[in-house]
Amino acid sequence: MNTTIYDVAREAGVSMATVSRVVNGNPNVKPSTRKKVLEAIERLGYRPNAVARGLASKKTTTVGVIIPDISSIFFAELARGIEDIATMYKYNIILCNSDQNKEKEIHLLNTLLGKQVDGIVFMGGKITEEHVEEFKRASVPIVMAATVDMNEEVPSVNIDYQNAVYEAVSHLLQNGHSSVAYVTGPLEDPINGYYKFNGYRKALEEQGLKVDDSQVFVGDYTYDTGIEAVETFLDSDKKPTAIFVGTDEMALGVIHGAQDRGLKVPEDIEVIGFDNTRLATMVRPTLSTVVQPMYDIGAVAMRLLTKLMNKETVEEHTVVLPHRIQFRDSTK
């Protein structure tokens, strides 16, 4: 049997309320009794039961984290940012993989609320009306990280995806390419289908160009679809000389796919990736890429959540972190 606050109270000859006060650092305890209690705690090896505490105080000091896939390099980095800040504020995290499946997401949300988490960090793809409904119904704050709600109803932390892509593609166009191909993740995710794509479109149109569907390849974020993408491009009659790729992992695929066909990067074909995961320096040539500060997005999202959980007033619920382009050797 584990020792309870009652055992400690008896051992120290005080009431459980006093023990509770000592444990919680309440100042209204005489130093001598505090000492007695502390000794009793030590003697019995008492460890407060967080479940009982959670029931009584209605705070569990744990937050839920819904993430598409923790084994993805991108999300794992985000998760680390979340966890570090959570730890800093004495929260633990319950981590759940959703695979971006809407049913799972809703189900997990309810499981977490059932477990009485004090808040939730949500990462996903497309945010539907139903998501927002569920979020609103929740009794605790929810913050989205690297996930956009186009109506800005839910607090979130992101970068300016549209401008980030716009800048990268514009850079390539200014290098004199007559066209820039685009490898993107699934378009159902509005980050891909709306923001990033619009950035691409805008950059093209600014140069008097139009989006050419044969120059756009929709992959599934994996290295292999990066390879597929170049192969498709190189088999077409309009071979690109510059490719913007929506994620680093696909960009590695693109570089290797091109090299496998005997092309030289960046001489024959320039490539810019997106995210600046650790992969970007693990290729030859090293990858020029848009820096999305994943760790920071996670950290800031968690920090925002702590404020909301504390009922502090926050000026801006939709935070946009800065981005930049890191030029390496895959561009001239």
Partner DNA sequence: GTTTCTTACATTATTGATTAAATAAATGAA
Partner DNA sequence: TTCATTTATTTAATCAATAATGTAAGAAAC
Binding flag, residue 16, DNA (CB under 7 A): yes
Q: Beta strand pairing status for 216-218 and 288-291?
A: unpaired
Binding flag, residue 47, its own copies (CB under 8 A): yes
Residue 21 binds: one of its own copies, DNA, none (C-beta under 5 to 8 A by kind): DNA
Lay out the sheet containing 288-291: strands in order across. 216-218, 181-184, 242-245, 270-275, 288-291, 324-326
Residues 50-79 that bind DNA (CB under 7 A): 51-53, 55-58
**Shortest distance (Å) from residue 247 CB to its own copies:** 13
Query: Torsions phi, psi of 68, nearest 5?
Result: -60, -50
Nearer to its own copies, 96 or 301 (CB): 96
Of 167, 203, 166, 200, nearest to 184 by C-alpha is 200
In this structure, the number of other CB atoms found within 10 A of the CB of residue 14 comes to 19
Which span (27-35, 292-300, 314-322, 324-332) binds DNA, by CB under 7 A? 27-35
Among 23, 106, 132, 263, binds DNA (CB under 7 A): 23
Alpha-carbon span 307 to 238, nearest angstrom = 52
Binding flag, residue 33, DNA (CB under 7 A): yes
Binding mask 57-76 for its own copies (x = CB under 8 A): ---x-x------xxxxx--x
Structure-block tokens of residue 20:
């509770």
Alpha-carbon span 101 to 25, nearest angstrom = 44
User: Is the N-terminal amide bond of 293 cis, ω within 30° of 0?
Assistant: no
Binding flag, residue 45, DNA (CB under 7 A): no
Residue 259 binds: one of its own copies, DNA, none (C-beta under 5 to 8 A by kind): its own copies
Burial level of 188, CB count in 10 A (0-12/13-18/19+)?
exposed
**Shortest distance (Å) from residue 31 CB to DNA:** 8
Q: Evaluate the CA torsion angle 60, 63, 66, 69 in order and state its sign.
A: negative
Residue 32 binds: one of DNA, its own copies, none (C-beta under 5 to 8 A by kind): DNA
Residues 118-147 that bind DNA (CB under 7 A): none
Strand partners, 157: 145, 319
**Shortest distance (Å) from residue 39 CB to DNA:** 14
Among 15, 24, 26, 110, binds its own copies (CB under 8 A): 110
Q: Which residue has the tokens 């994943």?
A: 294
What separation, in Å, do the N-terminal and C-terminal C-alpha atoms of the chain show? Answer: 68
Among 10, 38, 44, 48, binds DNA (CB under 7 A): 48
Alpha-carbon span 252 to 249, nearest angstrom = 5
Residue 282 binds: one of DNA, its own copies, none (C-beta under 5 to 8 A by kind): its own copies
Residue type, position 118, single letter = D
Structure-block tokens of residue 159:
């970068």
SS3 of 120, please?
Answer: strand
Binding flag, residue 261, its own copies (CB under 8 A): no
Binding flag, residue 30, DNA (CB under 7 A): yes
Nearer to DNA, 40 or 183 (CB): 40
Binding flag, residue 149, its own copies (CB under 8 A): no
Binding flag, residue 32, DNA (CB under 7 A): yes
Residues 258, 285 contacting (CB under 8 angstroms): no
In this structure, the number of other CB atoms found within 10 A of the CB of residue 325 comes to 17
Which residues contact DNA (rule: CB under 7 A)? Answer: 1-2, 4-6, 9, 13-21, 23-24, 27-30, 32-34, 46-49, 51-53, 55-58
Which residues contact its own copies (rule: CB under 8 A)? Answer: 2, 47-52, 54-55, 60, 62, 69-73, 76-77, 79-80, 83-84, 87, 92-97, 110-116, 139, 223, 249, 252-253, 256, 259-260, 278-279, 281-284, 295
